[in-house]
């Protein structure tokens, strides 16, 4: 049996009442508070701020070393990965404001009303379009921020089911997060287990596309049912607004050329702004102008930033709580227990990788930290011991962190999705789903079952190389 996980992530200076498990107290308070708010009435990320605040204060009261607890929370809030996510949100939200005011919603309505792409057809088109965008940019968060303000109101007015339409956007983002070669989840899964990026992308594609096909059928069947209407503010519907899609195309193109996401988003903003000016829908003064009246907006840049402030503040609380959870050693305790207890064969090893990863992603609010924690300490040693090739191990790890992770209200992507949908719905006075609607994500549930079937049957693992080991008995595939 390979040795258990080293305590590399345990902060020995962080002492909690109840030992390592005392580090779970802030998360427990957060989860109870979020579920209570979500189930008792309409809630927004601004309502979640109080829960996040109380969770951190509750953890402080349970900390033996108050100063070390505070340092741990601040390390979480200042995490570089979290900062990258927040910056990406801001730039993607500004892009969404530019294409929205450039007439893309009107263009999409014109397209739907003149081609019959309404109801479930529009929901399915939204899902496929979100896949294309997320594959090019490698980000589910950016896809949600860019697509929701445009596709959600257009789809509702064209008869799409509000919940299924909102889920189509997040599902499309999840596809890119799982498969795109420039996705952080994909890259981290490859690096942490020592796999080749091209190999894992090629071998993962059948798993992801089968799940996406299942989700597409669900959207085609259940994505409609609403009433088609052309609201008064969109009387000037015309096809020129569709040219704003080139802003998204620019982001995808520059991302594929190897540019950083924020750089690509900036180029997308430039392209969209130039097109908007060219078709007479925008002018430079709309980006930033002198405020004439107290409380008025100062332009599209401010509108874009304001659109994500609620989610950003909530996520800062969550990042601090997650750091306490990790540094207290609870996650490593779970990993060690699983590795000691019930892994006896190759099939069990693959199922254990899936199950432990799913369990760890439930409390932890971001999927790449889960990969960083589990990849080198659990997945790679188990894979090497039981003859699981690195690309197979990376596929199991990445697919696992991109399933249940998207459904939890306390997770970054779910909170951002809900914040963006509710703000967009309020702007156009249309219906919006509850945050608990994320539990019905079609693609993520489909991928959950596809990857488990793959592990149980051995499908997808027959091409991997099995090292020559003499102390391990492998199950026949």
Model confidence over 359-386: pLDDT tens digits?
Answer: 878 876 667 767 766 777 678 878 887 8
pLDDT at 156: 92
Cα–Cα distance measured from residue 163 to residue 148, given in angstroms and rounded to the nearest whole number: 12
On whether the CB atoms of residues 223 and 165 are closer than 8 A, the answer is yes
pLDDT at 467: 45
Cα–Cα distance measured from residue 190 to residue 383, given in angstroms and rounded to the nearest whole number: 13
On whether the CB atoms of residues 368 and 188 are closer than 8 A, the answer is yes
pLDDT at 373: 65
pLDDT at 78: 84
- The contacts of residue 244 (CB under 8 Å, 6+ apart) are 98, 99, 102, 103, 104, 107, 272, 275, 276
pLDDT in tens, the chain (477 residues): 333 334 445 566 787 888 778 888 888 888 788 778 766 665 566 777 888 899 999 889 888 888 889 998 898 888 776 777 788 778 877 887 888 788 877 787 788 777 878 899 999 999 998 898 888 777 788 889 888 988 899 899 989 999 999 999 999 999 988 988 767 788 778 877 888 877 888 889 999 999 999 999 999 999 988 778 766 565 566 788 888 888 888 887 887 787 877 888 899 899 989 999 998 888 887 787 666 666 556 788 888 788 778 778 877 887 888 788 778 877 667 666 766 666 777 888 899 889 888 887 887 666 776 776 677 767 887 888 788 899 999 999 999 999 988 988 877 788 889 989 998 998 888 888 988 899 999 999 999 999 999 999 988 774 444 444 434 444 434
Total residue length of the chain: 477
pLDDT at 300: 82
User: Taking the domains of the chain in order of start, what are their residue ranges?
Assistant: 19-457
pLDDT at 369: 66
First vs last C-alpha separation in the chain? 22
């Amino acid at each position: 049996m390979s040795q258990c996980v080293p305590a590399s992530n345990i902060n020995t200076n962080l002492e909690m009442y109840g030992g390592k498990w005392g580090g779970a107290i802030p998360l427990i308070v957060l989860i109870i508070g979020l579920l209570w708010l979500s189930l008792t009435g309409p809630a927004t990320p601004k309502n979640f701020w109080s829960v996040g605040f109380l969770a951190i204060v509750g953890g402080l009261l349970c900390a033996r070393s108050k100063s070390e607890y505070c340092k741990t929370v601040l390390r979480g809030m200042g995490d570089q990965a979290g900062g990258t996510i927040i910056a990406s949100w801001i730039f993607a939200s500004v892009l969404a404001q530019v294409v929205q005011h450039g007439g893309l919603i009107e263009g999409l309505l014109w397209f739907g009303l003149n081609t019959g792409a309404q109801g479930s057809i529009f929901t399915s088109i939204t899902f496929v379009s979100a896949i294309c965008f997320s594959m090019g940019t490698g980000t589910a968060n950016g896809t949600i921020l860019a697509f929701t303000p445009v596709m959600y109101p257009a789809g509702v007015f064209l008869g799409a089911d509000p919940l299924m339409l909102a889920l189509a956007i997040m599902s499309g983002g999840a596809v890119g997060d799982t498969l795109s070669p420039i996705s952080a989840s994909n890259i981290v899964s490859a690096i942490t287990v020592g796999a080749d990026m091209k190999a894992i992308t090629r071998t993962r594609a059948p798993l992801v596309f089968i799940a996406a096909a299942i989700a597409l059928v669900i959207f085609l069947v259940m994505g409609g049912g609403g009433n088609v209407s052309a609201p008064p503010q969109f009387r000037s519907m015309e096809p020129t607004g569709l040219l704003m899609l080139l802003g998204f195309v620019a982001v995808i193109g520059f991302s594929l050329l190897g540019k950083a996401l924020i750089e690509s988003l900036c180029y997308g903003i430039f392209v969209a702004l130039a097109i908007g000016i060219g078709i007479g829908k925008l002018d430079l003064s709309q980006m930033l102008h002198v405020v004439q009246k107290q409380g008025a907006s100062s332009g599209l840049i401010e509108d874009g930033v304001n659109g994500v402030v609620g989610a950003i503040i909530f996520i800062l609380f969550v990042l601090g709580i997650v750091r306490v959870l990790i540094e207290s050693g609870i996650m490593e305790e779970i990993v060690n227990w699983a590795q000691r207890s019930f892994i006896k064969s190759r099939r069990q090893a693959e199922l254990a990788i899936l199950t432990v990863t799913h369990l760890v992603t439930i409390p932890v609010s971001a999927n790449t930290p889960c990969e960083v924690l589990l990849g080198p300490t659990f997945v790679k040693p188990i894979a090497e011991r039981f003859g699981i090739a690195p690309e197979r191990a990376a596929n199991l790890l990445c697919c696992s962190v991109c399933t249940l992770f998207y459904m939890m209200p306390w997770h970054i992507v779910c909170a951002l999705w809900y914040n963006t949908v509710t703000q967009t719905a309020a702007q156009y006075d249309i219906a919006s789903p509850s945050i608990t609607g994320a539990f019905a994500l079609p693609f993520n549930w489909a991928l959950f079952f596809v990857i488990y079937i793959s592990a149980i049957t051995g499908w997808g693992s027959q091409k991997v190389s099995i090292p020559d080991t003499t102390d391990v008995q492998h199950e026949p595939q």
